[in-house]
A and B are shown apart, each in its own frame.
Chain A
Amino acid sequence: MEEKMEKNPEIIGFACSFCTFKASEMAGSLRMKYPEGVKLIQVPCSSRVDPAFVIKAIFEGADGVFVAGCHPGDCHFIKGNFYTRRKIAALKELFAAFGMKEKLRLFWVSAAEARRFVEKVTEFYNDIKDRKNAG
């Protein structure tokens, strides 16, 4: 039997400047490895992420999108991430209606949590990859 080519997913992540993007910088400095398919867009605060951006990314071929910000209570902009949480929860409902709830993920990573950043994105990537190659 012909061996199937493994498909690598494309992941777009929105990372807030003050926590997650800082953590990703630190992860790079510490030479931690994560898949090349994960690409970040820097936003000042996770609350800047318009749900339309997420939908656009999916339309244009992203296999998964994540939004990541500071832990609740730690937002540099006081409570922007609470709005993000609400928005993404609502967006997830919409995604669920189209049977693609798993394509969207929200998580919190502080500036110090380089390891957590790598774990979270790798886990998401592998999840999406398994689904992509299962069909």
Chain B
Amino acid sequence: MKTGIFICHCGHNIKHTVDVKRLSEYFKQYPHVTVSEDYPFVCSEPGQDMITESIEKHGLDRVIIASCAPSLHGELFKDLLRKKNVNPFLLRRVSIREHCSWVGDDIEANTEKAKRLILSGLYGAAHYVPLEEKQVEVNKSALVVGGGVSGLSAALFLSKMGMDVFLVESKAELGGHVRELKSVWPSRLPGAKIVEDMEKELKGRPNVEIFTSTRLVNFEGFFGNYEATLETPSGERKVTIGGVVVSIGFAPFDPGIKPELCYGRDPRIVTTLDLERAGDDLALPEKPRVAVLHCIGSRDEQIGRSYCSRICCINALRAAEAVKERYSDSYVESFYMDVRAHPRGGEEFFEDTQEKGVLFTRANIGEIVPSPSGVLLRGEDTLFGETFEREFDLVVLSAGMSPPETSKEMASLFKISLDKDRFFLEAHIKLRPFDTAVKGIFIAGSCSGPKDVEESINHGRASALKLYGFLNLGYAFVDPFISIVDPKRCSGCRMCEQACVAKAIKFDEQKRVVRVEEAACMGCGLCNATCPSSAISLKGYVDSVIDDEISALLEAI
């Protein structure tokens, strides 16, 4: 066996708190370790060349890369091995950045920990065997769940790229929340026009099937061959698709959750959306006094919402501007924590609004008290540190975004994760912002955290593009980490058969042993841990790998 160990400095990220030089020297003395090198960036081109050259020169049959977390650069390093005709499953990644250099500050302790981690990789990989990647055909079709702007743009993109698209919307019409907006900043186009244009284009395309008032009730299968069950008004319908874009949007924050705001108990207390809907119907005096409140349901620890909803500052500014434009003699005061005018041009818009005469007061509003003469605001001016009371004719609440009501249900259908606020969690916040942990399932729009219209459209397209990239190949490799039975050891007790959730284990009545149905096996390893005679093992995670990893981590080898 010839093993190559490559230890990455990751610039200063690893080198800073791990003595990489000492480690690479240390591993040189190990038998079977042919090469042990450290390098500033193993993932860089020269770093990759170093690995491929070593494989060629020394004929390495095990490659251990100690660097960042295994979820990063996984395919990149596997490809290096493939290029040199080495089975990619003889590669072992050891995370000495996310699991070592970044979690401790002590160089000595970190170096010792990194040494043990690499050692466990070395001993674990010694038991690796070449595994065969199976190629499966991929359906060139996609399911888009949610027909808001992000879903519409994703569906449109996929359809234009020649994929069959099934678009599912739970409401009776497409367009989501954007349809309700009278004017979408900064283009000031009516929201309905934006979505109707997209809808029209989509409906004219032959490869798109739209299901409205439809619910997704079941979802199973694996990448390239998922099967979704839809509950349509005309009965149940099953569709087979290659991948999914989940774009189920958000739920507007209900200010009723905060009773001190008195929302819903007085017609003079409205949200920005109510204001848009009311339009000219608002009965206001000639010189109205209007208050606009920012951050309703955002950045509020008391109700467990610490995140910023990103859209509500612009909404608040738009509401203030709209009132000011209609009633030039109005008194408009905006109560904010911080003005975060996110999108491009937002800051300028904020300045314009100030110039138009909207007064901005940094304040925390404690309560809203409606009375026959007006609506009283009680709060604290946080710049002066003084409390105040002011009366207004109208109070506009700029409400934020809540996670979609069905996020939990959808997450368990697709087996994807939620973040702490119950929005969908991406696979990596910077490097894989559209992916989920499940292959072929992508997230788009506000269901993965608050976004404005422009961002949602872009997010939808980006997710669609990523999915298209996967599907267009027409085939996919499936992880070979599935269980395998040693019929000589199997006693036919059928304990694994009972345990298997995927029903992948079948009993052979004639031979009195079990066998694994490869296509159905999910690769959890439950059967491996259940078998009393060690007859069934999960490829890649066989007992001897884990056993030796334990020993190596404890230096008991």
Q: Are B526 and A22 in contact, with the CB atoms below 8 A? A: no
Residue of A25, A33, A51, A79 with highest tally of chain B CB at under 10 A: A25
Q: Are A83 and B98 in contact, with the CB atoms below 8 A? A: no
Question: What residues on A are CB-neighbors of B546 within 8 Å?
Answer: 41, 43, 50, 53
Q: Are A78 and B501 in contact, with the CB atoms below 8 A? A: yes
**Scoring A residues 56 to 73 as 1 if CB is less than 8 Å from chain B, else 0, what string do you get?**
110011100000000001
Q: How far is the CA of A57 from the CA of B66 in the complex (A)?
A: 23
Q: How far is the CA of A76 from the CA of B524 in the complex (A)?
A: 9
**Scoring B residues 82 to 112 as 1 if CB is less than 8 Å from chain A, else 0, what string do you get?**
0000000000000101111011111001101
Known: A49-B529, A80-B501, A112-B420. A43 touches B541 (CB 8 A): yes
Q: Are A60 and B529 in contact, with the CB atoms below 8 A? A: no
Partner of B553, one of A41, A77, A83: A41
Q: How far is the CA of A13 from the CA of B415 in the complex (A)?
A: 23
List residues of B (410-424) whose CB comes within 8 Å of A's CBs. 411-412, 415, 417-420
List residues of A (68-124) whose CB comes within 8 Å of B's CBs. 73-74, 76-80, 83, 87, 110-113
Total of A-B residue pairs, C-beta within 8 Å: 139
Q: Are A48 and B553 in contact, with the CB atoms below 8 A? A: no
For residue B481, CB closer than 8 A to chain A, the reply is yes
A40 to chain B, nearest CB (A): 6
For residue B528, CB closer than 8 A to chain A, the reply is yes
Known: A47-B524, A60-B554, A111-B437. A74 touches B412 (CB 8 A): yes
Q: Are B104 and A33 in contact, with the CB atoms below 8 A? A: yes
Q: Are B554 and A57 in contact, with the CB atoms below 8 A? A: yes
Q: How far is the CA of A112 from the CA of B428 in the complex (A)?
A: 11
Q: How far is the CA of A110 from the CA of B417 in the complex (A)?
A: 8
Q: Are A33 and B523 in contact, with the CB atoms below 8 A? A: no
Q: Are A36 and B112 in contact, with the CB atoms below 8 A? A: yes
Known: A29-B102, A33-B104. A43 touches B525 (CB 8 A): yes
Question: What residues on A are CB-neighbors of B524 within 8 Å?
Answer: 44-45, 47-48, 76-77, 80
For residue B199, CB closer than 8 A to chain A, the reply is no
Which of the segments B113-121, B278-286, B340-348 contacts the partner chain?
B113-121
Question: What residues on B are CB-neighbors of A47 within 8 Å?
Answer: 524-526, 529
Question: What residues on B are CB-neighbors of A50 within 8 Å?
Answer: 528-529, 543, 546
The count of residues in chain A whose C-beta lies closer than 8 Å to any C-beta of chain B is: 48
Partner of B99, one of A28, A48, A56, A78: A28
Q: Are B550 and A24 in contact, with the CB atoms below 8 A? A: no
The size class of the interface chain B forms with chain A is: 35 or more
Q: Are A19 and B528 in contact, with the CB atoms below 8 A? A: no
Question: What residues on B are CB-neighbors of A61 within 8 Å?
Answer: 554, 556
Q: Are A39 and B117 in contact, with the CB atoms below 8 A? A: yes
Question: What residues on A are CB-neighbors of B415 within 8 Å?
Answer: 76, 78
List residues of A (5-30) whose CB comes within 8 Å of B's CBs. 10, 12, 18-19, 22, 24-25, 27-29
Question: What residues on A are CB-neighbors of B98 within 8 Å?
Answer: 24-25, 27-29
B387 to chain A, nearest CB (A): 35
For residue B357, CB closer than 8 A to chain A, the reply is no
Q: Are B425 and A111 in contact, with the CB atoms below 8 A? A: yes
Question: What residues on A are CB-neighbors of B543 within 8 Å?
Answer: 50, 52
For residue B393, CB closer than 8 A to chain A, the reply is no
Q: Are A36 and B110 in contact, with the CB atoms below 8 A? A: yes
Known: A41-B120, A60-B550, A83-B499. A22 touches B71 (CB 8 A): yes
For residue B149, CB closer than 8 A to chain A, the reply is no
Question: What residues on A are CB-neighbors of B100 within 8 Å?
Answer: 36
For residue B296, CB closer than 8 A to chain A, the reply is no
Q: How far is the CA of A79 from the CA of B109 in the complex (A)?
A: 38
Partner of B69, one of A28, A31, A43, A78: A28
Known: A28-B103, A33-B105, A61-B554. A22 touches B549 (CB 8 A): no
For residue B363, CB closer than 8 A to chain A, the reply is no
Contacts A/B (CB < 8 Å), 18 sampled: A18-B437, A22-B417, A27-B98, A28-B95, A29-B429, A34-B104, A36-B106, A36-B112, A41-B550, A43-B546, A47-B526, A50-B546, A51-B529, A61-B554, A61-B556, A76-B438, A77-B502, A77-B522
A-B pairs with lowest CB-CB distance, top 4: A28-B98, A48-B525, A77-B524, A45-B524
Excluding A35-B104, A79-B501, A110-B417, 18 further A-B contacts by CB distance (< 8 Å) are: A12-B553, A24-B98, A25-B71, A27-B103, A33-B104, A39-B553, A40-B99, A44-B541, A45-B526, A47-B529, A48-B541, A50-B528, A53-B546, A56-B547, A56-B551, A62-B554, A111-B425, A112-B425
